Amino acid sequence: MKPRIVMVRMLSGQTEAISLVLISGIVVSLVGAAYFWGMPLIDKRAASTDFTSASNLITDINKKILSLANAGGGTAEIELSKAVTLVPAEADDVNNNSLTTIYGVKQPILYPGAEGATLYLGATNFGDISESIGVFGHSSPGVITVKQAVTPEGNYFLSTKLWYRQLRTSGTQTKSYIIRLCSDTDASCTVKATGTGKLILSFKGTETIPGNPDLVVTTIGVKLT
């Protein structure tokens, strides 16, 4: 006896329903895979954007401070994209005479394991960029550094710092120069300040402190709101 062939007719509505379920399942799977594999890339792009924003902000601040110091007067305002902290020149702190912005990211900007390492930005002379005293007319008075730290949760903190060092002339009659950062309303130049809205810089004057060598100090007032 020949085997019986049973033909089942599937209604058109059933076909569309099953196709829809299959297509929906594929789409959901693809979206899930894209999200899973794309998350690190999204985090990296976000971290890169934050890093660029902080670097541009600190670089802009440095340019405006140098412009005021060279002009011997004036004021400048900068809208802050990130919180900035001032550690004034006379503060009892290893980071004195600096402006810093610290922010969190989910992906490292520096290579993994670089915690504690220092990255120098905008360095025109790598020979002495890490020295506490530079060469007047040759070295940059403002040094911009980036450091990376990891949190217990596996995220990262980046610290971008601008600090000012002495520059010393060469020759037999040497003289040193430095830009001194102080809070705009603090005569002692010891009080720290943090702002998230606006940074206002102002030229406060230049004085020469006798010594060996003489030290020429240009003070820049910093107001953070």
Q: Render pLDDT for 192-225 as a digit per residue (tens, 0 to 9).
A: 999 999 999 999 999 999 998 999 999 999 999 9
For residues 167-183, b (16+ Cβ closer than 10 Å) or e, as one string? bbeeeeeeebbbbbbbb
Does some domain include residue 3? no
pTM for the predicted model, two decimal places: 0.79
Residue 28 domain-assigned?
no
Q: Is 62 inside any structural domain? A: yes
pLDDT at 117: 79
- Cα 63 to chain centroid, rounded: 15
**Residue-range definition of the domain harbouring residue 100:** 40-224
Confidence label for 153 from pLDDT (cuts 50, 70 and 90): confident
Burial class (CB in 10 A: 0-12, 13-18, 19+), 12: exposed
The length of the chain, given as a count of residues: 225
Quick one: pLDDT at residue 15?
A: 45
In a domain, 20, yes or no: no
Distance (Å, whole) CA 173 – CA 177: 14
Residue 28 has a CB neighbour count (10 Å cut-off) of 10
Please state, rounded to an integer, the average pLDDT across all residues of the chain: 82
Residue 27 lies in a domain: no
Confidence of residue 188 (pLDDT cuts 50, 70, 90): very high
What pLDDT is attached to residue 29?
Answer: 53
DSSP per residue over 149-171, as a string? EE-TTS-EEEEEEEEE-EEE--S
User: How far is Cα 161 from Cα 142, in angstroms, rounded to an integer?
Assistant: 10
The Cα–Cα gap between 48 and 2 comes to 72
Number of structural domains in the chain: 1
Does the pLDDT of residue 125 top 60, yes or no? no
Domain assignment present for residue 18? The answer is no
Q: Give the model confidence (pLDDT) of 10-69 as tens digits.
A: 444 444 444 445 554 555 555 555 444 455 667 778 878 888 899 999 999 999 999 999
Cis preceding-peptide flag for 210 (omega within 30 of 0):
no
User: Where residue 122 falls among pLDDT bands split at 50, 70, 90?
Assistant: confident
Judge whether 168 lies within some domain. Answer: yes
Asked if the structure places residue 132 within a domain, the reply is yes
Confidence class for position 113, pLDDT limits 50, 70, 90: low
